[in-house]
Structure 1
Amino acid sequence: MSAYALANVRSVELCPDIVEYLERIQGTMDPFGGRFIFHGGEKEVVEGSWAQDLILIEFPDPESVRGWWNSPEYQAIKHLRTDHMAADIVLFDTLPRDYQVGETAAKLAKLM
């Protein structure tokens, strides 16, 4: 079951530290099977507004995304980003393939 790191980037100061972070991050992700799915590219806002950039990184499983996030290798470069970027970051797992939203709706209806 895949797991993800999602960043909602509110602002970034382009500087040498950010360039170094980008040069080094893939090396921290590779041992955990991480790959960029979306990295601040073009997006189509179809409802509401969205001024921020998105970054989405996929990992093969929940243990891998958490292992990467907590790894000494990533922690060693993290300051290069956090010193120059304001972002909200979440780690999350995917739902099981057999997930049925109707079951969730039925459970919520019973609570009302």
Structure 2
Amino acid sequence: MASYAIGRLRDVRLGPQIVAYLERIDATLAPFGGRFLIHGDPPEVLEGAWTGDLIVIAFPDRTQARAWYASPAYRAILPLRTGNSVGDVILIDGVCETHRAVDVLKSAASESAA
């Protein structure tokens, strides 16, 4: 099942270090099947308040996503981003094509029974 690295970045200081990060990140994704789905396009806010830039990177599975984040190539450029922005980054799995909203009720019921 596909897994996603999702980041919300705020206070990005677009200087030489962020430029270097952007120039190098694609090469770190390729060995793990990662690709950008969303990369900082300004959102149209329909509810609530939103700040920052959203980044979504798709991977074939959680194992590949974890391996990318832990890879020496990515760890080498990570300080270029973290030193020049504030953000949150998570890994999360997607759902299958047949997923329906009520499917989460089945998961919740099985967890409460355990």
TM-score range, shorter chain: 0.7 to 0.9
State the TM-score, normalized to the length of structure 1. Answer: 0.87
Q: Aligned residue for 1:39?
A: 39
Post-superposition offset of 1:24? 0.3
Matched with 1:17 is 17
Distance change >3 Å, CA 101–CA 79, structure 1 → 2: same
Report the CA distance between 1:57 and its aligned residue. Answer: 0.6
CA drift of 1:53 comes to: 1.0
Determine what percentage of the aligned residue pairs are the same residue. Answer: 45
Q: CA deviation at 1:106?
A: 6.1
CA contact (8 A) 2:9 2:54 kept: yes
Aligned length: 111
Between the aligned partners of 2:43 and 2:72, the Cα distance in structure 1 is 33
Unmatched tracts of structure 1, length 5 or more: none
Write the letter of the residue equivalent to 1:45.
V
Which residue identity is paired with 1:56? V
Give, in angstroms, the shift of residue 62 of structure 1: 1.0
What does the per-residue CA deviation read over 1:30-51, in whole Å, with 9 as the maximum and x for residues that have no partner? 0001111111113211111112
CA 1:101–1:19: 2 relative to 1, 3 Å = same
Q: Residue in 2 aligned with 1:8?
A: 8
- Map Cα deviations across residues 23-78 of structure 1 (whole Å, 9 max, x no partner): 00000000001111111113211111112110111111111111100001100111
Task: Name the stretch that deviates more: 26-35 or 97-106.
Answer: 97-106
**Which 5+ residue runs of structure 2 have no aligned equivalent?**
none
Other structure's SS at 2:20 match: helix
